[in-house]
Amino acid sequence: MSELKPELKNDRFIRALLKQPVDRTPVWMMRQAGRYLPEYRATRAKAGDFMSLCSNPEMACEVTLQPLDRYPAIDAAILFSDILTIPDAMGLGLYFETGEGPRFKNPVTTEADINALPVIDMDKDLTYVTDAVALIRHELNGRVPLIGFSGSPWTLATYMVEGGSSKDYAQTKSMMYKQPLVFQQLLDKLVLSITHYLNAQIKAGAQVVQIFDSWGGALSHAAYHEYSLKPMQRIIDGLIKENDGRKVPVILFTKGGGQWLESMVASGADCLGLDWTTDIANARKRVGDQVALQGNMDPAILYTSPERIRQEVKSILDSYGEGGGHIFNLGHGVTPQATPENVGAFFDAVKEFSAKSP
């Protein structure tokens, strides 16, 4: 692998993803630019609504950098965007209902709906995302690496078929089991669109990409492998492997997927994200040195106290043990109920407890 370019001043995160030696465990936090920060809420109010914020590259850049300015211990920036930008670009009409989360005006419920869906064209669609990536990368000026991301085909499909969030994915699973070929057509279009999307982010400056399989854990063993993992593997196979003279690592995160780690290793991902239901020591024993591991503190610990947060951070670090290949993170995204002070205690504790003696 080519040496990292010198303009990346903090390469700790990428080194850990590639299982190279690091001076301490790198840390970032899913949803680290979000509603728990008063500065984020102020920028969102200025934007008017969530999608106006996402689709404004300057504002997306601003909120991406806010947590880094507040917490110097953060080792990576993640693009501020949303996993549902792809279905929106396909014409489903994304909007947000207060208290209900994302909704689509035009869900896909029939074979005709799926046949009518376009594969996104990154030269015309979602240029606000790639513009934001390029601007963030410029403004970071090598401070830390930039993560790009997408939702997984299965996860995006659930929103597209259900018309929004769901507790049981009844309509999606009904289509999957009753009309498997039709459902596969939907996944095929999403595989192509997500591959184009992530490659465009890489070309624009993303140095790492993460695939968020938020709802993969809702599937049976066989269905997970067929309808979630296999499509993600196809995406990984189609990604740009090296850019700017360095490898572009891929993180695969299936919430609720701890039972499938061995299968996930075979996907070609460089790192597997763990939610808080998986013991990280057991996960490391199962995957060995084949991939890095990311995670996995329960976000609810952030509701407690700095002392309790420090205890949990140390416990997870001790559980992982010596050696590299660990990126500290939450087991899912930080929630608005977390206080900025407790989030700061989290980052500081990772830095303190993982630092190697000189």
- Name which of 91, 85, 64, 67 is nearest 127 in CA terms: 85
Helix, strand or coil, per DSSP, at residue 297:
strand
CA–CA dist 254, 332 (Å, integer):
10
Q: How many CA atoms lie within 13 A of 284 on its CB side?
A: 21
Is the distance from CB of 93 to CB of 106 less than 8 angstroms? yes
Strand partners, 253: 212, 273
Number of neighbours of residue 83 by Cβ within 10 angstroms: 18
* Catalytic residue ranges: 31, 35, 44, 82, 159
Q: Sign of the CA dihedral 206, 75, 44, 213?
A: positive
Q: Pairing state of beta strands 94-97 and 208-213? A: unpaired
How does strand 101-104 pair with strand 94-97? antiparallel
For residue 84, what are its two tokens? 């549902």
How far is it, in rounded angstroms, from Cα 297 to Cα 330?
4
Say how far apart CA 316 and CA 313 lie, in whole Å: 5
Residue 15's identity, in one-letter code, is: R
Could you tell me where the beta strands, DSSP code E, fall in 51-140? 77-78, 94-97, 101-104
Map residue 34 onto helix, strand or coil: coil
Give the E-state strand segments of the chain in sequence order: 77-78, 94-97, 101-104, 146-151, 208-213, 242-243, 246-247, 250-254, 271-273, 292-294, 326-327
φ, ψ (nearest 5 deg) of residue 187: -60, -40
